[in-house]
Amino acid sequence: MPRHVAIIMDGNGRWAVERNLPRFEGHRAGARSVREVVRRCGELGVEVLTLYAFSVENWARPAAEVGHLMSLLEHFLRTEIDELQANNVRCRAIGDLAGLPAAVRRQLELACRATADNRGLQLVLALNYSGRRELAQAVASMVESAKQRPLPTGAALEREIARHLYAPDLPDPDLLIRTSGELRLSNFMLWQLAYTEIYVTPVYWPDFGRAQLDQALAAYARRERRFGGLAAAGERASA
């Protein structure tokens, strides 16, 4: 079982268009998938679930769609607190949160504060998130720190970079799931995904539920993670 699962939730709009529905109905349906996947991860003992909910690039979408997304996010945070509490889920967020609408920020702060003492699954929402921006901000913070003490080198420098990321206490994702069949990272957790196993499914996010998550986890369980090293001796001999 992976400790940390990250998901690029893709395909809401296409799901709606193929059903002759407004795109925001796809986002509404996707919220139901979020609830189901959060529950399943909690049941299975996954420690961290990070959901790519809204990227910096998503602001370029039509204003009406962005407005629907922000309203849906605020509604989700407000109405899911009891569900999160009942399942011992801790809510967190990463990204440039100051750029979110005030109402969303307020509800996000309430949800995170209300669940801060929960010790089950950590649900991390990537909001107004950009992997490149996260790295740029980490570098800027390190440059400021370098005024007080010199930067380390080698592996110590890598640890220093990781320490300046949005959530340095979290383990790197073991498994990245991307729905809708797209084969790209979309500027998501570029540092943390260095050795993450990737699972891509053609299923649109609104159709992704417990069964699809279990399939992804089963595929992960069949893989051997070598982190650049060699396979076990027995596997090398039979290869």
Q: Which DSSP state fits 68?
A: H
Task: State the catalytic residue, choosing from 10, 12, 128, 174.
Answer: 10
Q: In percent, how much of the chain has pLDDT > 90?
A: 90
- Token digits of residue 98: 């100051």
Nearest-CA neighbor of 189 among 142, 119, 134, 111? 134
**Is position 118 annotated as part of the catalytic site?**
no
Average confidence (pLDDT) over 129-148: 95
pLDDT over 60 (residue 89):
yes
**Is position 10 annotated as part of the catalytic site?**
yes
Architecture of domain 4-130+172-221: 3-Layer(aba) Sandwich (3.40)
> What would the pLDDT profile of 164-197 be if each residue is shown by its tens digit?
999 999 999 999 999 999 999 999 999 999 999 9
Task: State the catalytic residue, choosing from 12, 58, 169, 214.
Answer: 58
- Token digits of residue 104: 């969303």
pLDDT over 60 (residue 237):
no
pLDDT over 80 (residue 232):
no
What is the rounded distance in angstroms from the CA atom of residue 49 to the CA atom of residue 67?
A: 25
Return the axis-axis angle of helices 131-145 and 154-163, rounded to nearest 10°: 110
Residue 108's beta-bridge partner residues?
none
Nearest 5 degrees, angle CA 69-CA 72-CA 77?
A: 125
pLDDT over 60 (residue 54):
yes
Nearest-CA neighbor of 43 among 185, 160, 231, 217? 217
- Which residue ranges make up each domain of the chain? 4-130+172-221
> What would the pLDDT profile of 56-65 be if each residue is shown by its tens digit?
999 999 999 9
